[in-house]
Amino acid sequence: MPTQYYLFLSLALFCIGIMGTLMRRNAIIIFMCIELMLNSVNLLLVAFSKMYGHADAQLFVFFIMVVAAAEVSVGLAVIVLMYRKVHSVDVNILNRLKH
């Protein structure tokens, strides 16, 4: 398959991720959309890696996975902390609590 199909697919996934991050109000879903963005990048990198015949982009993918896992561990901890306090994972509640 030509590489541009992968490019279009991953750009579509990326845009879905961005739209989700900006429009959804549930912190967990926002978080999932961010993961979707990262994974679309992974797909694109692997496709480019195949196109150029280099392995370094695939190596990059492993680093993205590891860092995403580190981010998940921090992020979920923060969300749980928030949930214990306000019993909600809705990000709108944050803006109401501001002042």
Partner 1 sequence: MAALLLLLLTGVNAYEALTLPLEGKRLFNDMLMPGQVSAWFNTLMTGCTLLYVMLSGRDIRKVGNHVADYFALIFFTLCGLYILSSYNTLLMLFLGIEILSIPQYILAGADKRNLKSSEASLKYFLMGSFSTGILLMGIALLYGAMGTFHISEFSFPTTELFSPLALAGILLIVVAFGFKVSAAPMHLWTPDVYDGAPTPFASYMATVMKVAAFYAFIRLFHNSLGSVSNKWMLVIMIITAATLLIGNITAVFQQSVKRMLAYSSIAQAGFMLFAVLSVNELGRQSLIIYAVAYTLATVGMFTVLAKLKDYTYDGFNGLAKSNPMLAFATAIFIFSLAGIPLTGGFMAKYYAVSALMTQGNAMWLVLFGLLMAAVSVYYYFRVIWAMYFKPGTPQLHEPMTTTDNWLLLFTASLVILVGVAPQLVLAFA
Q: Which is nearer to partner 1, 1 or 97 (CB)?
A: 97
Residue 87 region by backbone torsions, left for phi larger than 0, else alpha for psi between -120 and 50, else beta = left
DSSP string, 21-84: HHH--BHHHHHHHHHHHHHHHHHHHHHHHHHHT-SHHHHHHHHHHHHHHHHHHHHHHHHHHHHH
The pair of structure tokens assigned to 90 is 């809705």
Which residues 66-85 are close enough to bind partner 1 by CB under 8 A?
67, 70-71, 74-75, 78-79, 81-82, 85
**Site map for partner 1, 9-28, x if CB under 8 A?**
-x---x--xx--x-----x-
Of 86, 87, 88, 92, the one binding partner 1 (CB under 8 A) is 86
Task: Determine, following the binding rule CB under 8 A, whether residue 38 of this chain makes contact with partner 1.
Answer: yes
Q: How many CB atoms lie within 10 A of CB 21?
A: 16
Residues comprising the chain, all counted: 99
What residue ranges bind partner 1 (CB under 8 A)? 7, 10, 14, 17-18, 21, 27, 30-31, 34, 37-38, 40-41, 44-45, 48, 51-52, 54, 56-57, 59-60, 63-64, 67, 70-71, 74-75, 78-79, 81-82, 85-86, 91, 94, 97-98
